[in-house]
Amino acid sequence: MLYKLPRLASRATPSKFEGDILPPPLFFRVRRRLHRCHLLLLALLLSPFSLLAQSSPIVILHTNDTHSHLEAYNEPDIGNVGGVVRRNTFIQETRSQYPNTIVVDAGDFSQGTPYFNLFKGFPEIELMNKMGYDVVTLGNHEFDNGSKALAKRLKLADFKIVCTNYQFKNKQLAKLVKPYTIIHVDGKTIGFFGLLQDMRRLILPTHYQEVTFLDPVATAQKMVDILKNKENCELIICLSHLGITAEFEGDITDKNIAENVPGIDIIIGGHSHLLLEEPVIVNNTRILQVRKHGIYVGKLIISD
């Protein structure tokens, strides 16, 4: 069965940020619930390029913790939700409305339905290719079948995979997973890097033995320095699977990163399965997350 999203109503015109300080003091938020599909759009308008002329806004669509939910399903408190067909329709409609759309995921696209058990995570990658994902970070569940199996799947990915604070002994993973990536869109330079949690309390030792964990705060600081000073990025986005709150004592969270590493404009997070209807703002860094299982797609509109 094919799901079609209803057409979006015309968007409220965002106020222009006029001023000479960056980052802008305000987020302009537009939120809509689409009744038939129960897809909540979190549309956040941000103006970091206020001093530059911009023809078409840059839109970032983001998901996290989709957990092999390829089909629509019934979520008790909402109803019929999710599914890659519905998600794809939304992504393609957004792309046709906003040609400068970037699609990202904050990890844990694997594990959670029999699809993963039966087909070992390959359909997830192929469908993300088809949906046109651009940049993705990994979550702990990507490692559920070990590093070798993960490398085999990631080899098929058409999107960029970023993780900054892991060092891989597996040569293929070391080649496939980059510390950061740069996307040039509409004359702007946007830098993406990825952070993952310490998996030693989450998965089997056999599955993380080929990974060395580096301190997320120190590596994030290093990334910001490189992206700002060497790569001249105008916007720095961290895809994080750390979680916004600590799961175990001593965990480093998205909030800790924002508190300790100045210069990250946006943290697109995962792992906590929390729906943040508004960004959590810490030290001028906006932290976002959209629950789980592809129920929601976050939509960030960056306009001048």
User: By CB under 5 A, how many residues form the interface with Zn ion?
Assistant: 4
Residues between 34 and 93 that touch Zn ion (CB under 5 A): none
Give, in order, the Cα–Cα distances in Å from 109 to each of 134, 143, 188.
Answer: 14, 11, 28
Q: How far is the CB of 221 from Zn ion (least distance, A)?
A: 24
In whole angstroms, what separates CA 118 from the centre of its chain? Answer: 26
Please identify, using beta-carbon distances, which residue of 222 and 292 lies nearer to Zn ion: 292
Please identify, using beta-carbon distances, which residue of 90 and 143 lies nearer to Zn ion: 143
Binding mask 258-277 for Zn ion (x = CB under 5 A): -------------x------
Q: How far is the CB of 108 from Zn ion (least distance, A)?
A: 4
By three-state DSSP, how is residue 226 classified?
helix
Helix (H) or strand (E) holding 10: none
Q: How far is the CB of 1 from Zn ion (least distance, A)?
A: 30
User: What tokens were used for 265?
Assistant: 């404009």
Q: Measured between alpha carbons, how far is 209 from 169 in angstroms, rounded to an integer?
A: 9
Please identify, using beta-carbon distances, which residue of 17 and 208 lies nearer to Zn ion: 208
Please identify, using beta-carbon distances, which residue of 139 and 269 lies nearer to Zn ion: 139
Block residue for tokens 């310490």:
198
Binding mask 108-127 for Zn ion (x = CB under 5 A): x-------------------
CB 104 within 8 A of CB 62: yes
User: What tokens were used for 275?
Assistant: 């729906």
Point out the residue whose Cβ comes nearest to Zn ion: 271
Q: How far is the CB of 210 from Zn ion (least distance, A)?
A: 19
Please identify, using beta-carbon distances, which residue of 82 and 139 lies nearer to Zn ion: 139
CB 286 within 8 A of CB 44: yes
Q: Binding residue for Zn ion (CB under 5 A) from 139, 216, 269, 294?
A: 139
Q: Which of 85, 142, 154 is nearest to 112 (CA)?
A: 142
Q: Measured between alpha carbons, how far is 94 from 100 in angstroms, rounded to an integer?
A: 9
Taking CB under 5 A as the binding criterion, the range among 28-36, 69-77, 104-112, 291-299 that sits at the site for Zn ion is 104-112
CB 73 within 8 A of CB 83: yes
194 binds Zn ion (CB under 5 A): no
Please identify, using beta-carbon distances, which residue of 139 and 298 lies nearer to Zn ion: 139
- Which residues of this protein are in contact with Zn ion, per CB under 5 A? 108, 139-140, 271
